[in-house]
């Protein structure tokens, strides 16, 4: 079974803090994705990566950056957390068939 794990289930941070969200997949997938999920807005793509050290902006990259130093690990960074970044963050990965994405359990982030 594909396993995508995220470092934290719940996180509380203060405005202005730098926040790191980690995602690890164990299926040697090339592609990894970060989404945020908000009520009424569905899943919105923040960034994705198709190879180590390669990244592309998604639909809402502002205020975020990413890092992919190893194939299995994809990190999302909030450089200076703001209250409007309070959300559920979901990581996903996909392999050769590309269209099938496997999701982690999500990190619920609260920025105070």
Using CB under 8 A as the criterion, which residues of the chain lie in contact with another protein when the complex forms? 4, 30-31, 33, 40-45, 48, 50, 56, 58, 90, 92, 94, 97-106
| Rounded-to-integer distance, Cα 71 and Cα 87, Å | 26
Pair type for strands 10-13 and 107-111: parallel
Query: Please, what is the minimum distance in Å from the beta carbon of residue 86 to another protein?
Result: 16
Query: Please, what is the minimum distance in Å from the beta carbon of residue 106 to another protein?
Result: 5
Query: Please, what is the minimum distance in Å from the beta carbon of residue 43 to another protein?
Result: 4
Residue 3: which of 33, 26, 31 has the closest Cα? 26
Q: By C-beta, is 16 or 110 nearer to another protein?
A: 110
| Rounded-to-integer distance, Cα 29 and Cα 15, Å | 34
């Amino acid at each position: 079974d594909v396993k995508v794990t995220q470092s934290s289930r719940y996180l509380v941070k203060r405005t202005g803090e730098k926040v790191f969200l980690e995602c690890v997949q164990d299926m040697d997938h090339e592609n990894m994705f970060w989404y945020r999920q908000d009520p009424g807005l569905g899943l919105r793509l923040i960034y994705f990566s198709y190879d180590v050290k390669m990244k592309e902006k998604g639909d809402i990259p502002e205020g975020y950056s990413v890092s992919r130093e190893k194939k299995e690990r994809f990190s999302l960074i909030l450089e200076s957390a703001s209250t409007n970044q309070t959300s559920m963050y979901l990581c996903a990965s996909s392999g050769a068939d590309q269209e099938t994405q496997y999701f982690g359990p999500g990190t619920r982030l609260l920025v105070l």
